[in-house]
């Protein structure tokens, strides 16, 4: 999964993956020790960092924006690509300099890279004091105590039960309007290119009551949109003796019924699992957004088989057709990999034709990066030259930009309900917010409106990534 598909602008995942430091807001206090955390990669990592923050704050830690003030420096890592790991190593070297200037400071690596490179990080590079896998965050206080005593704190055990369902996350970098809720952890799909099953373990679903309770708390605290997260949300399933089974369609309906003012999104869907029941549930509930992130990865059936995606081109097209038939106004986005092992020019053109046919509103676009331990690394030769990968990626990007622009142009003169998320990045005179289709819309402010309000906005201009409009009617908050 690449849950960064929650965005709207085109993303070329080629050279680096950006990290985000914890902006603690009101959580920044003067009590106890201070921690600083950076998160890289997918939305699941950012959600995990919120769990880590909650655990640390119960141990009398407070958050800081300033790296040099921290007693504990954490980096929540991604292993999806080699470049991502290189970026994180560069950050660790910077942290090491800070540590030398302030003896006693601890540096820890969390997440997927922690699980994959534990020995190397601790023994060979000697850059860190803590290595903590995605299922071991509850042990952070014990591991920190061990590191304070001069021992390396390491726990990368992968659990079949851990979901952190009882921990209320501290919302990091929050706009106070939108939030993530993790509903599953791990993955059982075993795509040949992907490290997630090895770094996050087997799939398990979280108790629906805890998901509902978290969504209710967020709504009562003023949040107006939640995104349900999982490596593959459509395979969510909860069974308990004496209770009715809950699948993903039933779960999203239960969350949507909390309030008509609470928008519900989800990511990521897998083409083999997204059902018509889910699509009809979206139609029945106006506050479930008309947007599906449906990664294709390749337009070639042969390449999809090598990727172990468990569907072919025809199956994928059938699912896209079902989405458009059942939800005519639905936007679909995707993930695309350029230059997978043995991919031919004709198969590359199959991917281009899929982008044009599916009319994706946006895509996250990658060059293939071999990851040690995956099925692809064991069975296939990474035989596509880097120059060819980059050229194919550029062709994909150019086509997707064209398709996105055409998609946005079709929205001119349409009016959308928009949830105000905050000020536009370019001007404090404008608001930004997204419509149901996950498209970002910029529009001039009106007196009395604030983030969390719903407004009707008519689109009059577009760019490749953004709609530009004007408020025509104020809604409710």
- CATH for 415-474 (3.40.50.620, 2.40.50.140, 2.60.120.260, 3.40.350.10): 2.40.50.140
Q: What is the pLDDT of residue 328?
A: 96
Given this structure, which CATH class describes domain 11-155? alpha beta
In three-state secondary structure terms, 455 is strand
- Cα-Cα end-to-end distance for the chain: 33
- Could you say which DSSP state residue 381 is in? -
Radius of gyration of the chain (CA): 22
In three-state secondary structure terms, 283 is helix
Q: What is the pLDDT of residue 474?
A: 62
Burial category of 254 from C-beta neighbours within 10 Å (exposed 0-12, middle 13-18, buried 19 and up): middle
Pair of tokens at residue 319: 């699912």
Closest to 275 measured CA to CA, from 229, 326, 313? 326
Q: What is the pLDDT of residue 151?
A: 87
Domain locations in the chain?
11-155, 178-406, 415-474
Q: What is the full per-residue pLDDT of the chain (477 aa) written as tens digits? A: 333 322 223 334 333 344 555 554 444 445 589 999 999 888 888 999 999 999 999 999 999 989 999 999 999 988 777 777 888 889 999 999 999 999 999 999 998 888 777 777 777 557 899 999 999 999 999 999 999 988 888 998 889 899 999 999 998 778 999 999 999 999 999 999 999 998 899 999 999 999 999 999 999 999 999 999 999 999 999 988 777 899 999 999 999 999 999 999 999 999 999 999 999 999 999 999 999 999 999 999 999 999 999 999 999 999 999 999 999 999 999 999 999 999 999 999 999 999 999 999 999 999 999 998 899 999 999 999 999 999 999 999 999 999 999 999 999 999 999 999 999 999 999 999 999 999 999 999 998 999 999 999 999 999 999 999 999 976 555
Do 271 and 319 touch, CB atoms closer than 8 A?
Answer: yes
Pair of tokens at residue 219: 């709504």
* Domain 178-406, second-level architecture: Alpha-Beta Horseshoe (3.80)
What is the distance between the alpha carbons of residues 450 and 224, in angstroms, rounded to a whole number? 12
Pair of tokens at residue 388: 């060819």
Q: What is the pLDDT of residue 7?
A: 27
Q: What is the pLDDT of residue 14?
A: 34
In Å, how far are 262, 418, 443 from 433, measured between CA atoms?
A: 15, 6, 9
Residue 423: HSE in the Cβ half-sphere, 13 Å Cα cutoff: 5
Fold match between domain 178-406 and domain 415-474: no
Q: At what angle do helices 140-148 and 43-57 cross, to 10 degrees?
A: 70
Q: What is the pLDDT of residue 311?
A: 98
Pair of tokens at residue 360: 């994706």
Q: Which of left, alpha, beta for 145 (phi over 0: left; psi -120 to 50: alpha)?
A: alpha
Cα angle value 200/202/204 (rounded, 5°): 105
Q: What is the pLDDT of residue 378?
A: 96
Q: What is the pLDDT of residue 19?
A: 55
User: What is the β-pairing status of strands 130-132 and 204-205?
Assistant: unpaired
pTM greater than the 0.85 cutoff = yes
What is the distance between the alpha carbons of residues 280 and 327, in angstroms, rounded to a whole number? 8
Q: What is the pLDDT of residue 81?
A: 77
């Amino acid at each position: 999964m690449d849950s960064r598909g929650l965005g709207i602008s085109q993303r070329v995942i080629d050279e680096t993956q950006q990290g985000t430091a914890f902006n603690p807001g009101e959580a920044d206090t003067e009590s106890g020790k201070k921690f600083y955390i950076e998160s890289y990669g997918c939305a699941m990592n950012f959600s995990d960092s919120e769990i880590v923050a909650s655990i640390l704050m119960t141990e009398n830690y407070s958050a800081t924006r300033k790296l040099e003030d921290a007693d504990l420096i954490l980096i929540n890592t991604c292993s999806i690509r080699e470049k991502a790991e290189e970026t994180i190593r560069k950050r660790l070297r910077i942290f090491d300099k800070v540590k030398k200037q302030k003896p006693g400071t601890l540096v820890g690596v969390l997440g997927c890279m922690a699980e994959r490179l534990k020995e190397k990080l601790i023994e060979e590079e000697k850059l860190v004091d803590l290595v903590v896998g995605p299922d071991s965050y509850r042990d952070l206080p014990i591991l920190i105590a061990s590191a304070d005593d001069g021992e390396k704190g390491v726990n990368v055990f992968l659990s079949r039960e851990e979901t952190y369902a009882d921990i209320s996350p501290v919302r990091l970098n929050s706009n106070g309007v939108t939030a993530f809720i993790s509903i599953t952890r791990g993955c059982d799909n075993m795509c040949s290119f992907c490290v997630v099953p090895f770094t996050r373990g087997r799939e398990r679903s979280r108790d629906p009551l805890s998901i509902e309770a978290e969504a209710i708390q967020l709504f009562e605290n003023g949040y107006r949109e939640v995104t349900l997260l999982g490596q593959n949300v459509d395979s969510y399933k909860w069974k308990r003796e004496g209770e009715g089974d809950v699948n993903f369609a039933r779960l999203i309906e239960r969350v949507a019924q909390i309030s008509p003012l609470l928008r519900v999104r989800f990511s990521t869907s897998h083409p083999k699992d997204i059902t018509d029941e889910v699509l009809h549930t979206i139609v029945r509930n106006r506050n479930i957004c008309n947007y599906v992130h449906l990664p294709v990865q390749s337009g070639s059936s042969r390449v999809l088989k090598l990727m172990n995606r468990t569907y072919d081109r025809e199956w994928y097209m059938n699912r896209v057709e079902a989405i458009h038939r059942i939800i005519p106004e639905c936007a679909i986005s995707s993930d695309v990999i350029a230059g997978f092992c043995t991919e031919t020019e004709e198969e590359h053109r199959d991917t281009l034709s899929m982008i044009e046919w599916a009319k994706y509103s946006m895509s996250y676009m990658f060059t293939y990066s071999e990851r040690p331990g995956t099925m692809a690394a064991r069975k296939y030769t990474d035989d596509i030259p880097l120059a060819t990968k980059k050229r194919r990626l550029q062709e994909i990007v150019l086509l997707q930009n064209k398709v996105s622009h055409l998609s946005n142009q079709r929205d001119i003169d349409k009016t959308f309900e928009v949830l105000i998320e905050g000020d536009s990045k370019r001007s404090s005179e404008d608001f930004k917010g997204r419509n149901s289709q996950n498209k970002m819309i910029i529009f001039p402010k009106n007196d009395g409106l604030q983030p969390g309000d719903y407004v009707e906005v008519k689109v009059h201009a577009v760019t490749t990534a953004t709609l530009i409009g004007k408020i025509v009617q104020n809604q409710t908050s």
